[in-house]
Amino acid sequence: MNWLNYHHLMYFWTMAREGSVSRAADKLHLSQPTISGQLRQLENAVGCKLYERIGRELRLTDTGKIVYEYAEEIFTTGQELMHRLNGRQTEQSLIFTVGIPDFVSKLIAYRLIEPVFHLSQPVQLVCYEGKLPELLTDLAMHRLDLVLSDSPAGSQVSVKAYNHPLGECGVSWVCTQDRLEQLRSGFPQSLEGQPLLLPTQNTVLRRSLEQWLEAQNFVPRIIAEVEDSALLKIMATQGLGIAPVANSILPDVEKQYGLHCLGELAGVTIQLFAISAERKVTHPAVKAISDEAKNRLFR
């Protein structure tokens, strides 16, 4: 049985409705090569050309017209369903859907989104975790209202997205009380030979940490590389090693994990961005997040 990729079908449907690849790309917040590539994959799946070029224009073939009729029915019905469900939901609360890359500190993420629950209008929060490129694709498809990330959306992904800086803060090493008493004197040279717990190579913080370590006069002893920031803190709590933490959440880390600040990493910072599909974001939940970041979290 041949399976139809409905993402490809939606790109085709949008292109047919908009009348050109460029307008479809703008509508979907994707690049033109991405749209063209998805269209070719759909044509391969159905085994026929869906467009033919006549002069400068692209026109639907006979097969393309048939596919468009079915796509129109599928997606029009889907839009009617979502409008009806959203209409029912709006009577109760405002849905706010956020994507958070798995390497972003969950304590920072919580501190950012916590004010959303205190808005005058009730909000139903939906959070998804995943890889940043996947979350940005969902953002472009309007399955997410916002992505909170420690790195901006760049040219490495073929979607249109707008970066809204929330702020930045310093970074410190944290460890257990026993290790703190041993290493506080002589920091940072006291880290020589000590077990370090670092984020993985694909994170922005890791690159900054490596630059800091290169500036020290010792070879670091890295015993673990962990993508999940919460797991990194748990390992430090168990006395396995010393971990980096954003200064803005040091009180929370001490209270929740029993870890203490050993010393700050001079010149190392963590930045946070709210990434949206629109240049100007009007959602009240986004304003609450921005105010929290600027007034409390990253002062």
Same structural domain, 51 and 119: no
Domain's final residue, options 28, 61, 88: 88
In a domain, 1, yes or no: no
Structural domain count, the chain: 2
Same structural domain, 107 and 179: yes
Rounded to whole angstroms, how far apart are CA atoms 211 and 169? 17
User: Can you give the residue range of the structural domain that contains 212?
Assistant: 96-299
Which CATH number belongs to the domain containing residue 77 in this structure? 1.10.10.10
The pair phi, psi for residue 232, each rounded to 5°, is -60, -45
Q: At what angle do helices 284-292 and 106-113 cross, to 10 degrees?
A: 120
Which CATH number belongs to the domain containing residue 207 in this structure? 3.40.190.290
pLDDT at 22: 85
Same structural domain, 61 and 183: no
pLDDT at 1: 36
Rounded to whole angstroms, how far apart are CA atoms 43 and 102? 35
Rounded to whole angstroms, how far apart are CA atoms 280 and 17? 26
Same structural domain, 114 and 74: no
Cis (ω within 30 of 0) for the bond into 133? no
Domain's final residue, options 69, 88, 107: 88
Q: CB of 156 within 8 A of CB of 133? A: yes
Same structural domain, 130 and 43: no
Rounded to whole angstroms, how far apart are CA atoms 149 and 130? 11
In a domain, 23, yes or no: yes
C-alpha separations of 94 from 38, 124, 200 in Å: 33, 6, 36
Same structural domain, 173 and 270: yes
Same structural domain, 110 and 10: no
Same structural domain, 102 and 249: yes
**Strand pairing of 146-149 and 94-101?**
parallel
Q: CB of 249 within 8 A of CB of 105? A: yes
Same structural domain, 193 and 268: yes
**pLDDT tens track, the chain, 299 positions:** 356 788 888 888 888 888 888 888 888 888 888 888 888 888 888 888 888 887 777 788 888 888 888 888 887 777 666 765 665 554 466 788 999 998 888 899 999 999 898 888 888 889 999 888 889 888 888 888 899 998 888 755 667 788 999 999 999 999 999 999 999 998 999 999 999 999 998 888 899 999 999 999 888 899 999 988 889 999 999 999 999 999 999 999 999 999 999 999 999 999 999 998 887 777 888 888 888 888 777 76
Same structural domain, 78 and 102: no
In a domain, 14, yes or no: yes
Q: Which of 286, 271, 272 minimizes the C-alpha distance to 115?
A: 286
Same structural domain, 19 and 122: no
In a domain, 191, yes or no: yes
Same structural domain, 44 and 162: no
Rounded to whole angstroms, how far apart are CA atoms 242 and 260? 10
DSSP state of 4: P
